[in-house]
Chains A and B, each alone.
Chain A
Amino acid sequence: MTDHRDKEFLNRIRTELDRSSGTLDELTIARLRAARHRALETAPPRRRWFLAGGIAAATALSGVIALLVISPATAPLATGLDQIELLADADPDLYKELEFYRWLAERQHAG
């Protein structure tokens, strides 16, 4: 087989392969898309993101500790009833996020 015929032969194969991948059924295409989205959604954020979160958490924690140290000892503590009211007033989305973070932590722990 000559080079020309070789090229022609391989081009025909390439064209046929392109056609076969371009005519996949809708269900398969949807499954591929779903797989791609799952892969992208479950990817952990970058380390810098964790670093920024860590800095923010440390700052917030130091603020809380400072408030506890500075505040007078006679300041009334929240009662059990107060805590229930606080929980009732909180944004429901917060709990969704908490669930997500717990799930993420479990995955990382398992992985």
Chain B
Amino acid sequence: MDRVAQASADRALETHLDSQVALDRFLAGVERRALRMAEFATGNRDEALDIVQDAMFVLVRRYRDRGDSEWGPLFHRILQTRILDWYRRGRVRHKWLAWLAPHDNEDEDPLASLPDAGARRPEDLLGNARAGEALESALRNLPLRQQQAFLLRTWEGLDVAATASAMGCSEGSVKTHYSRAVHTLRDLLEDHWP
């Protein structure tokens, strides 16, 4: 290898390692909250871990060369898209299962009997003494888009525009979802946090 090529390779390697360190720091800072967000949506830790890992892979593979100021919005966009994909796949699967399952009562809505991965019964929620568990139950019971808007705005601290970008929807939709989420959470949690 001649000197020019060697120097170029050394510089590239140095930049590559710097980027690795910065990415590692960024992902370490966001991974726990990302996991909890995915867990609220799926109701399952293993599924949530898969989603977060997938989002990490995509960010590193496609966007490692972007500046670290761009990684946050990009990561949340990828994560929320993966959560939405998971949710849609589940709905399709549930529809097929419901269609294939034998029906004793044709008048009964088959979808109504399908278990919701994240939902808990209201009486469980009301009987729950711990505010943290009540919050978790309430968040899991929110419709997905409300849940996403609320967590991105309140927990991640994204503004309306960044939240809309992460969710792939309009700013107006974000405001609507967020407002409804806050209203629902207030109603569900007022016994715990008056």
Q: Is the CB of B193 within 8 A of A9?
A: yes
CA distance A67 to B128 in the complex (A): 81
> Residue-by-residue, is B170-194 near A (CB-CB < 8 Å gives 1, otherwise 0)?
0000000000001001100100010
CA distance A21 to B28 in the complex (A): 12
At the interface, is chain B mostly helix, strand, loop or mixed?
helix
Q: Contacts A28-B45, A40-B24, A55-B5: A49 and B16 contacting too (C-beta < 8 A)?
A: yes
Q: Is the CB of B155 within 8 A of A53?
A: no
Measured between C-beta atoms, what is the minimum distance from B60 to chain A in Å?
4
Q: Is the CB of B16 within 8 A of A28?
A: no
CA distance A35 to B193 in the complex (A): 36
Measured between C-beta atoms, what is the minimum distance from B84 to chain A in Å?
20
Q: Is the CB of A21 within 8 A of B9?
A: no
CA distance A96 to B147 in the complex (A): 47
Size of A's binding interface in residues, CB under 8 A: 38
Q: Contacts A31-B49, A39-B56, A49-B13: A19 and B132 contacting too (C-beta < 8 A)?
A: yes
Q: Which of A10-18, A68-76, A98-106 contacts B (4 or more CB under 8 A)?
A: A10-18
CA distance A16 to B33 in the complex (A): 12
CA distance A52 to B128 in the complex (A): 61
The interface residues of chain A lying within 8 Å CB-to-CB of B19 are 46
* Interchain residue pairs with CB less than 8 A apart (5): A14-B154, A16-B132, A32-B52, A39-B60, A59-B2
